Structure 1
């Protein structure tokens, strides 16, 4: 796969459209093979709670391979080839997982774990080269606008995909009782198809060649991000943040079902409300990221996200009250708005702060520590909950850890940082503009046009 040193404006635009389309396909893949359906699939095969926890942790911990993957990318310097091959192999393994119940009777769970480890390692290798590749295509001056649009499009596809999959499984269980495993296998096959379409689109993307330089020793490549004081602070923030958030949030479904008695369908509706709220805020946060900085957005959205954990702790006091449903919907909306800003800014800031000629190792470092923290947190949380007096104390502990992570945020430097008052004032202005009837109609048309253009 040949690449060019520089890309024309038309090639850059083609690359940006391809990134958005692959994001939509990847979202469809992750929705249909994600934690909800993979967990249900494993439980139907007789998996224990410990196995479910292991399955949830594997994708995060697999990112340890990003360290040797950095060397692979820097040595071969063919990011498109690495991305396409690793992604194609990774996504193809969902076909094998779908067939496990029918080809490995009695050994389903061990084989699924092995396959999930393999596909997660391959996906992590592909992600390492993909992040470096994107860093050379997406203009840094418009990171916020571009990735807010990408996340908006992905969410717009993910919501109906989740609802359709849930409806499909419900109907399947009605008409084919006792054969639910085959229903989940069908979802995995559909997810593979979407993933493969994304790989095909990525394979046709233009790729600028990496900056020519002498290959430094592997140890030097790995150490570089940690010798950059500001980037090291970013790594500390992302690692501590991901640990704090993932310590409690993965158990939110369990909390809502056991404490308040909500069904899985009701929890799904709450989740969709949160995702819809995120969609409304992506453009708002994206504009502020570009106008000021990612750190400026994180200083507003971060504390709001941390406060959500405290709000969940407070809801236990309203168990049995008629107000609890209103509170839960309200907290989901706040969480959706805050997480949109946090996810967008944390995704952008590494791309912005990483030096262009060293992006591979820098981005791999953030991904590695973020993923390991996010993977270990639910395991530790699952063990700790047995020693904690109640869910409300668990959420309070997550809130305290979130405050610790925000301390690192205060030390992080980025061009364009603005006082909180200025950012909040602009946030209110952007919200007024975004929620006006004319703007809502315009945004709906824009989303529709982008979806249609993506599939052309």
Structure 2
């Protein structure tokens, strides 16, 4: 069809129109993601009665589906109409959201397995479409405009996600669990996600597509991955990525199950935690971007990754605190910390893979990184779901006891069910930090110096938005201590 035909030449006016549409389209694709993925997807599955193993399966599907991007390279090279591939796969995949909406009224095993099957189709076609989409947009947006275009697109995506996340939380708050009203809320969310997804496909269809350059011949997947695997430093990075992705995805997909089934909170509170995490993510993203440009991505990872892992382990505290209001405060604080930390970790882990890729071979290196990420992040929740029954039947009690003249003080620690997941994720995270320490990147600084830079950046931000001396002083003391410690360390090194 003519409207899907690639253009041999694109003038500046046509390109500008395409970039405006690209930014505008984010409102629709962002709406689909906000209403049908992440926390909403897990919440709907729990509402349908999904087991922990089913939650693990649902969490693994989007990651494992990304492996389809490798054979999709051959599809794109043969078809050579990236717009047509992106639109067709989007229409087929997002039509599954309508089927998932209907499962809200079916219930039982049929509804659950239909829900899972629809998610498989959605994720599979989405992965193939993403391969075509990424190549298409890379050719459409000029190199000197990529940053600004995607910054505006990210702003749309984040804004829509925040607004719709709050709307979803309020809708769930106003309905009782297990009622027809709650069924209707989930059905409306997925039906609306389907509608915005179809509109997104229609908007994408009017964007111009530059013609692909002449084919260089068939692509061998084995040859594609052989080059990065022969690079010793990049192999070390792949080991970090694998252990890091396994650690965080072994525990985080089950946060919703933990909060709803073990702690007894409603799904609406889980949605609000997601909003808090996203707000912190947005607030921290600019700071991490500045620091990753100024210093090495490894230095950003050396701060963000341990903080995120420690926050996962600290989720154990929610099951130890007796007062529910303090549990709420604890969970909100942890989700805010995780949102800020994962912003830097995601940005830096993506950038470091690009930075360590030699010029002219970035496709092979990024493909290797994406493959390792998909395998590690996909198998972790799958294994976690299968082990759920094992940990349900296990319990570990530790007692810290202090005896003195004034009596005995005891602090019990009882680990049950999902607490084990958070502890295991922390142990795997420690190994991931070890693997990161072996990666070499030009411009890296040590963790202590990076922590000082983070505090300095935060202090500058606070100074720009507040004139309250006490608020600025809260960051002055830690920054001074870190600076003095850094100078003392340098003095000791020079003396040695």
TM-score (norm. length: structure 2): 0.75
Give the corresponding residue for 1:432: 459
Aligned partner of 1:251 among 254, 261, 283: 254
Alpha-carbon distance in 2 for matches of 1:342, 1:130:
24
Higher mean C-alpha deviation, range 69-78 or range 374-383:
69-78
Give the CA deviation at 1:336: 1.6
Alpha carbons of structure 1 residues 339 and 40: separation in structure 2 relative to 1, 3 Å: closer
Contact persistence 1:93–1:119 (CA under 8 A): yes
Alpha-carbon distance in 1 for matches of 2:461, 2:153:
18
Give the corresponding residue for 1:443: none
Give the corresponding residue for 1:401: 428
Give the corresponding residue for 2:189: 187
Structure whose residues are more often helix by fraction? 1
CA-based RMSD of the aligned residues comes to: 3.8
Contact persistence 2:165–2:272 (CA under 8 A): no
Instruction: Provide, for residues 38-80 of structure 1, a one-character-per-residue CA deviation record: whole Å limited to 9, x for no partner.
Output: 4454555565554444333322222232221122233444433
User: Matches of residues 34-433 of structure 1 in structure 2 within 5 Å?
Assistant: 34-42=37-45, 47-99=50-102, 107-136=110-139, 150-171=153-174, 177-178=179-180, 180-210=182-212, 212=214, 214-218=216-220, 219-258=222-261, 260-320=263-323, 323-354=326-357, 359-385=362-388, 386-387=390-391, 388-389=394-395, 390=415, 391-433=418-460
Instruction: Provide, for residues 210-243 of structure 1, a one-character-per-residue CA deviation record: whole Å limited to 9, x for no partner.
Output: 5545224523234344334444443332222111
Higher mean C-alpha deviation, range 426-435 or range 63-72:
426-435
Alpha carbons of structure 1 residues 136 and 242: separation in structure 2 relative to 1, 3 Å: farther
Higher mean C-alpha deviation, range 425-434 or range 3-12:
3-12
Contact persistence 2:35–2:193 (CA under 8 A): yes
Alpha carbons of structure 1 residues 114 and 321: separation in structure 2 relative to 1, 3 Å: closer
Alpha-carbon distance in 2 for matches of 1:98, 1:300:
41
Alpha-carbon distance in 2 for matches of 1:408, 1:10:
48
Higher mean C-alpha deviation, range 353-362 or range 223-232:
353-362
Instruction: Provide, for residues 189-220 of structure 1, a one-character-per-residue CA deviation record: whole Å limited to 9, x for no partner.
Output: 21122223333343344545555452245232
SS at match of 1:214: coil
Alpha carbons of structure 1 residues 79 and 277: separation in structure 2 relative to 1, 3 Å: same
SS at match of 2:387: helix
Give the CA deviation at 1:267: 3.1
Give the CA deviation at 1:6: 8.6
Alpha carbons of structure 1 residues 284 and 95: separation in structure 2 relative to 1, 3 Å: same
Give the CA deviation at 1:283: 1.2
Alpha-carbon distance in 2 for matches of 1:7, 1:151:
25
TM-score (norm. length: structure 1): 0.80
Give the CA deviation at 1:331: 2.1
Alpha carbons of structure 1 residues 23 and 232: separation in structure 2 relative to 1, 3 Å: farther
Structure whose residues are more often strand by fraction? 2
Alpha-carbon distance in 1 for matches of 2:65, 2:254:
21
Larger radius of gyration: 2
Contact persistence 1:62–1:124 (CA under 8 A): yes
Alpha carbons of structure 1 residues 337 and 42: separation in structure 2 relative to 1, 3 Å: closer
Contact persistence 1:148–1:286 (CA under 8 A): no
Higher relative contact order (CA 8 A, sep 6+): 1
Instruction: Provide, for residues 67-100 of structure 1, a one-character-per-residue CA deviation record: whole Å limited to 9, x for no partner.
Output: 2112223344443332232223212222233346
Give the corresponding residue for 2:479: none
Instruction: Provide, for residues 244-300 of structure 1, a one-character-per-residue CA deviation record: whole Å limited to 9, x for no partner.
Output: 001112222333345544333333333322221111111111222233343332122
**Residues matched between the structures, number:** 439
Contact persistence 1:294–1:346 (CA under 8 A): yes
Alpha-carbon distance in 1 for matches of 2:166, 2:300:
31
Higher mean C-alpha deviation, range 180-189 or range 301-310:
180-189
